[in-house]
Amino acid sequence: MSGQSPRSAGRPARRPQTALIAAGRPADEPGQPLNVPIVLASNFRAGGQDGTGGREYSRGDGTPGWEALEEVIGELEGGDAVAFGSGMAAIAAVLDPLPAGARVVVPTDCYAGVHALLADGQQQGRWHVDLVDITDTAAAIAAARQADLVWLESPTNPLLDIADLPALCAAARDGGALVAVDNTFATPLLQQPIAFGADFTVHSATKFLGGHSDLLLGVAVAGRPELGERLRRRREVAGAVPGALETFLVMRGLRTLALRLEQGQRSAGELARRLAGHPAVTRVRYPGLADHPGHAQAAAQMTGFGAVLGFEVPTAAAASTVCAAVRVVRSATSLGGVESTIERRARLSGQEHLPPGFLRLSVGCEHIEDLWDDLSGALAQAGA
The dihedrals phi and psi of 200, each to the nearest 5 degrees, come to -140, 145
Q: Is 207 a catalytic residue?
A: yes
| CA–CA distance, 141 with 157 (Å, rounded to integer) | 20
Could you count the other beta carbons within 10 Å of the beta carbon of residue 169?
Answer: 24
Q: Is 148 a catalytic residue?
A: no
**Residue 331's beta-bridge partner residues?**
342
Task: Give every CB contact of residue 253 below 8 A, 6+ residues apart in sequence.
Answer: 209, 210, 211, 212
| CA–CA distance, 35 with 15 (Å, rounded to integer) | 20
182, 285, 360, 374: the catalytic one is 182
| CA–CA distance, 213 with 198 (Å, rounded to integer) | 28
55, 111, 148, 374: the catalytic one is 111
> Helices 316-325 and 368-381 meet at what angle, rounded to 10?
130
| CA–CA distance, 218 with 116 (Å, rounded to integer) | 17
> Could you tell me the sign of the dihedral formed by the alpha carbons of 255, 90, 221, 119, in that order?
positive
| CA–CA distance, 287 with 101 (Å, rounded to integer) | 36
Q: Is 59 a catalytic residue?
A: yes
- Return the exposure string of 282-315: e unless at least 16 CB atoms fall within 10 Å of the residue's CB, then b: eebbbbbbeebebbebbeebbebbbbbbbbbbbe
Could you count the other beta carbons within 10 Å of the beta carbon of residue 65?
Answer: 27
126, 207, 344, 360: the catalytic one is 207
Q: Is 286 a catalytic residue?
A: no
With 0-12 / 13-18 / 19 or more C-beta atoms within 10 angstroms meaning exposed / middle / buried, residue 270 is middle
14, 25, 59, 330: the catalytic one is 59
**Residue 201's beta-bridge partner residues?**
181, 221
Active site residues: 59, 111, 182, 207
